[in-house]
């Protein structure tokens, strides 16, 4: 039993690391204007997150459009506004809004 748990823990750790790497790749691709490539990285991130039940970090969630899975790059394919103490991010691809409290 212990072995299985240990294996699972390790698999999660590896998935977490892969997600972080993919996030960096997506960010690099997005900044370079390669949005379809960035989107592919996002899909891979989400697949890993689902498969291993590893949640994405807050920062990662803020950068991904829930609706169309675009990697959001403010000033390129996303607009960021401050409204009533909240950060509002609009995905320019599908028009979806994302809000979170501004600290």
Residue 80 found at the interface with Zn ion (CB under 5 A) = no
CA separation for the pair 74, 37 (Å, rounded) = 17
Least Å distance between CB 40 and Zn ion? 15
The phi, psi pair for 58, rounded to 5°, reads -55, -45
Residue 40 found at the interface with Zn ion (CB under 5 A) = no
Residue 19 found at the interface with Zn ion (CB under 5 A) = no
Least Å distance between CB 91 and Zn ion? 3
Binding part of the chain for Zn ion, among 14-22, 23-31, 43-51, 92-100 by CB under 5 A, reads 92-100
Residue 73 found at the interface with Zn ion (CB under 5 A) = no
Q: Which residues bind to Zn ion, rule: CB under 5 A?
A: 65, 67-68, 70, 91, 93-94, 96
């Amino acid at each position: 039993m212990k072995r299985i748990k240990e294996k699972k823990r390790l698999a999660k750790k590896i998935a977490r690391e892969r997600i972080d790497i993919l996030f960096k790749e997506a960010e690099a691709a997005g900044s370079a204007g390669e949005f379809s490539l960035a989107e592919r990285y996002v899909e891979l991130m989400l697949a890993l997150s689902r498969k291993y039940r590893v949640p994405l970090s807050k920062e990662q969630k803020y950068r991904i459009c829930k609706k169309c899975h675009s990697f959001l790059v403010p000033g390129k394919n996303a607009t960021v506004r401050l409204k009533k103490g909240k950060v509002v991010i609009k995905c320019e691809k599908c028009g979806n809004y994302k809000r979170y409290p501004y600290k």
